[in-house]
Amino acid sequence: MIRISDRVWQHWEEVEPLGRPGVDLLFASSLAQEEGLAAVRRAAEGTIRELETRPARPTGEEFSTGAWSAAPTPGGIALRIDEEPEDFEALLRGIAERLEGAGVDGAFDLLETDPTAELPELVDLLECRIRVKGTRQHFRGPNWGWRPEPEAFSDGVDDALDWCVATAPDRPLRLAVGLIAPVTVDPDEDARTLVRQGVEAQVDLGVVRLISTTVSRFRVVSLEPSSGRISLIEGGDALAGGDWRGPLEGLQAFCRSAAQWAVYGFVKRGSRRVDAELGQLFVDWVPAPHRSANSRLGDAFEDEFVPDAFGVQLLGEGYRDRVPQGPVWVPSPAGATAVLVEHRELEDWFDGRLVPFRGQPLTTLLDQTVPVPKLVARAREDFEPILFKDDVAWGR
């Protein structure tokens, strides 16, 4: 038997007039997590297919079935229903009926979350973004993708999770898979397995985040398996108060060790946490006239071309004999074939902000006449031969 808590229907009655926003549910059963996830997926896919057969309205407008996503979480399987389903009850009851028909016994309830534990969206932070080893694939026109090597991504995930929990190993963590609300993972629970199962659930699209917090700082690991991106974000009151050297040294060390499984990486200062988690660079960076504003065309070329000039960059084997030279840059070996390139005056890059605390307004990003800080302009001259421009994607 599959039970649905009255709290679910009460919650939907409250939020439906607000535009039918997403609802996060917890499915608890006696099944092992892998079996439970597979069962929920089958039931949700079958229900959506059935709802899609409903006839269109007389106006020709299609019936909105809604959408779903699922991932393992402490206590069971998290199921998110969103994209404005017109018949939420039919969708959820259809899933429950299919689970029951498969001989599954369990219950749906609201997913318990703690909104007070959510990090601020605007906060002083350091962002380390790394691209793991892989291969470039062409889609259409200038659009390219990066297919990560599974083993390289797996190694990167292991190292990133170690970094995330090292600052507070005895404190609870927060885990967010895709758009599902973050849930608490207690120290005695297997966060590593939950993260890996979340990555498998988001392999084609989406981001998995693991969050560690203390009184004065936080760490976030953001994993994007579809593009091979791994981001490490550290920030909080300590960084805002001027303590940037310790966090930076940790990220520099991480970049050196990442050379075994990465093709590129950079470290920068910023303030827009969500943009850092999603790998969106230029809203929280200086104007970049060498490429389209807020474009991700260059992501698939980071094995050969850097997105911009930064105070710290990891250059993999694809940059062999193309490492920028000059009196202000200090290259040092990282692994067998990579180089970590650092500016001699790191305080110029990290002791203050090169962009406003809230990032750049879109009008600034589109205006190529906006002055760029001299520090970055000079660095771009040094990195010019390996600086990504949109023409690279078109030319290939």
Instruction: Specify whether 70 is located in the same domain as 133.
Output: no
First to last CA, the chain: 56
- Among the ranges given (27-41, 68-82, 140-154, 353-367), the one the predictor scored with the smallest mean pLDDT: 353-367
Instruction: Specify whether 99 is located in the same domain as 138.
Output: no
% of the chain residues with pLDDT over 90: 77
CA distance 149 to 370: 39
| Cβ-based burial of 93 (10 A; exposed 0-12, middle 13-18, buried ≥19) | middle
- Please report where in the chains the tokens 């108060």 appear, as a residue: 241
pLDDT for 289: 85
CA distance 207 to 226: 9
Residue 371 in this model has a pLDDT that exceeds 90: no
pLDDT for 332: 96
pLDDT for 115: 77
Instruction: Specify whether 102 is located in the same domain as 128.
Output: no
CA distance 246 to 186: 27
| 106 in Cβ contact with 2 (< 8 Å) | yes
What domain count does the chain have? 2
Name the β-bridge partners of 157: none
Q: CA of 71: how far to CAs of 6, 110, 221, in Å?
A: 23, 15, 17
CATH number at residue 67: 3.30.70.100
Residue 145 in this model has a pLDDT that exceeds 70: yes
> Which of 86, 112, 138 is the endpoint of a domain?
112
| 80 in Cβ contact with 22 (< 8 Å) | yes
Query: What is residue 292's DSSP assignment?
Result: -
The model's confidence at residue 84, banded by pLDDT at 50, 70 and 90, is confident
Instruction: Specify whether 108 is located in the same domain as 130.
Output: no
Helix axis angle, 88-101 to 33-51, nearest 10°: 130
> Which of 65, 93, 112 is the endpoint of a domain?
112
CA distance 123 to 352: 13
pLDDT for 369: 75
pLDDT for 60: 67
* 145: nearest Cα among 225, 208, 223: 225
Please tell me which residue, 352 or 342, carries the higher pLDDT value: 342
Q: Are strands 229-235 and 106-110 parallel, antiparallel or unpaired?
A: unpaired
* 150: nearest Cα among 130, 162, 163, 134: 134
- Among the ranges given (102-116, 142-156, 310-324, 337-351), the one the predictor scored with the smallest mean pLDDT: 102-116
- Across residues 112-131, what is the average pLDDT? 92
- Across residues 213-218, what is the average pLDDT? 92
Residue 320: phi and psi, rounded to 5, are -55, 130
> Which pTM value belongs to this model?
0.93
- Across residues 312-338, what is the average pLDDT? 94
Q: Sheet holding 218-224: strands in order across?
A: 183-185, 173-177, 208-213, 218-224, 229-235, 122-132, 262-272, 312-315, 338-343, 329-334
The model's confidence at residue 58, banded by pLDDT at 50, 70 and 90, is confident
Instruction: Specify whether 82 is located in the same domain as 130.
Output: no
- Across residues 348-369, what is the average pLDDT? 85
Instruction: Specify whether 52 is located in the same domain as 155.
Output: no
Residue 382 in this model has a pLDDT that exceeds 80: yes
Q: Could you report the per-residue pLDDT of 220-237, keeping only the tens digit for each?
A: 999 999 999 999 999 999
Instruction: Specify whether 28 is located in the same domain as 131.
Output: no
Q: Are strands 2-4 and 106-110 parallel, antiparallel or unpaired?
A: parallel
Residue 372: phi and psi, rounded to 5, are -100, 140
**What mean pLDDT, rounded, does the chain reach?**
92
Please tell me which residue, 361 or 322, carries the higher pLDDT value: 322
Residue 218 host element (H or E): strand 218-224
SS3 234: strand
Residue 37 host element (H or E): helix 33-51
> Which of 57, 82, 112 is the endpoint of a domain?
112
% of the chain residues with pLDDT over 70: 99
Instruction: Specify whether 9 is located in the same domain as 26.
Output: yes
pLDDT for 49: 93
| 25 in Cβ contact with 108 (< 8 Å) | yes
Q: CA of 338: how far to CAs of 229, 263, 320, 354, in Å?
A: 18, 8, 8, 27
Instruction: Please provide the DSSP assignment of 108-151 as one string.
Output: EEEPP--GGGPPPSEEEEEEEEEEESEEEEEEETTEEEEEE-HH
Instruction: Specify whether 375 is located in the same domain as 306.
Output: yes
CA distance 118 to 89: 29
Q: Which residue range is the domain that position 220 belongs to?
A: 120-395
Query: Which two tokens mark 90?
Result: 């039919």
Residue 204 in this model has a pLDDT that exceeds 80: no
Instruction: Specify whether 310 is located in the same domain as 230.
Output: yes
| Cβ-based burial of 395 (10 A; exposed 0-12, middle 13-18, buried ≥19) | exposed
Highest mean pLDDT (candidates 63-72, 301-310, 321-330): 301-310
Please tell me which residue, 159 or 371, carries the higher pLDDT value: 159
Instruction: Specify whether 199 is located in the same domain as 290.
Output: yes
- Nearest-Å Rg of the Cα atoms of the chain is 23
Instruction: Specify whether 151 is located in the same domain as 237.
Output: yes
- Across residues 133-149, what is the average pLDDT? 95
